[in-house]
Amino acid sequence: MARVVVTGGAGFLGSHLCDRLLERGDEVVCLDNLVTGRTANIEHLFAHPGFTFVEQDVSNFMWVPGPVDAIMHLASPASPIDFARIPIQILKVGSLGTHNCLGLARAKGAKFHLNSTSEVYGDPLVHPQPETYWGNVNPIGPRSMYDEAKRFGEAMTMAYHRAHDIDIRIVRTFNTYGPRMAPDDGRVVSNFIVQALKGEALTVYGDGSQSRSFCYVDDQIAGQLALLDSDYQQPVNIGNPHEFTMLELAETVLAATNSNSKLEFLPLPKDDPTQRKPDLTVANRELGWEPKIQLAEGIEKAITYFAAELGR
């Protein structure tokens, strides 16, 4: 049993993590400033005796009273829509927020777990991407606030590990989807499902030949907890290695929703990565973890969730 601080705990990934931690008997202190997180994601936990929620922006100095065994830093807006809307907040939570969480970890003698991203590989020239790949990132482009903040966060985490012997974990999360994504999140899985359910055209950016590898949220959280519980102090990719083009994803969503929606082709955003697929050798070897839920199954669960959200 541990007492775990989860930053971004009211967000899509963070709220699922809070659920799993509480289920296994851990105590959770959930911090979120609710900029993209939603209380709807955690309200079922408010009565749980092991759960505390604090509305807190971790980019500012923060303090958590009492013992802390681990800090899991997931707080960050993560959608390309947010990249244009709140770029400075994204840079702050990835840099100052990571620094504050590491300071708290040091003061408490706690483990620090950073939720980093496959975006550290930018528009990758190596495919699939192993953790040893240094990436191809535009430092001043329209995605730079997210990519560079996460890269800075990884550098800061390793610096605290080397300088202060902090026990660290770094997960590089690949495109994850599932229940509790905001319907207007702006990412491709939520956009396509919501559009298909409403009978609207599916907005394909570019010619739809770019690829992503989509991980169902339960697999993602299981991988993150396997890393937390391990003693591996280097970055680990967590995702699903099955790669799909956006046209293939559109076909999958149309079939699963039984929708007649057409495709609408829109301009490809600048610096949109052309391909992405995790090399999971390290996760398999160090954690004995691999994803179990494939796209066809996960999409069904996501459709059930979005259909309920739209009906609300």
Q: Please say which residue, 111 or 212, places its beta carbon nearer to ligand UDP.
A: 212
- Nearer to ligand UDP by Cβ, of 53 and 214: the residue is 214
- Catalytic residue flag (residue 160): no
**Taking the complex as a whole, how short is the minimal distance between the CB of residue 198 and ligand UDP, in angstroms?**
13
Minimal distance, residue 255 CB to ligand UDP, in Å: 17
For the chain, the first-to-last Cα distance in angstroms comes to 37
Is residue 154 within 8 A of residue 170, CB to CB? The reply is yes
How many Cβ atoms from other residues are within 10 Å of residue 139's Cβ? 9
**204, 250 Cβ separation under 8 angstroms:** yes
**Which strand (E) or helix (H) includes residue 84?**
helix 80-85
DSSP designation for 2: -
My answer on whether omega of the bond before 128 falls inside 30° of 0, hence cis, is yes
- Site residues (vs ligand UDP, CB under 6 A): 80, 175, 187-188, 191, 203-205, 210, 212, 246, 268-269, 272
Which of 89/190 has CB closer to ligand UDP? 190
Among 121, 133, 146, 160, the one annotated catalytic = 146
| Least distance to ligand UDP, CB of residue 231, Å | 30
Three-state DSSP string of 198-242 = HCCCEEEECCCCCEEECEEHHHHHHHHHHHHHCCCCCEEEECCCC
Of all residues in the shown chain, the one whose CB is closest to ligand UDP is 187
β-pair partners for 171: 115, 236
Task: Return the number of the residue (56 or 117) whose C-beta is nearest ligand UDP.
Answer: 117
Q: Which residue's CB is nearer to ligand UDP, number 99 or number 150?
A: 150
**Least Å distance between CB 127 and ligand UDP?**
14
Q: From the CB of 5, what's the least distance to ligand UDP, in Å? A: 26
Report the b/e string of 242-256 with b at 16+ CB within 10 A. ebbbbbebbebbbeb
Closest CA to 66 of 50, 42, 88: 50
Residues annotated as part of the active site: 146
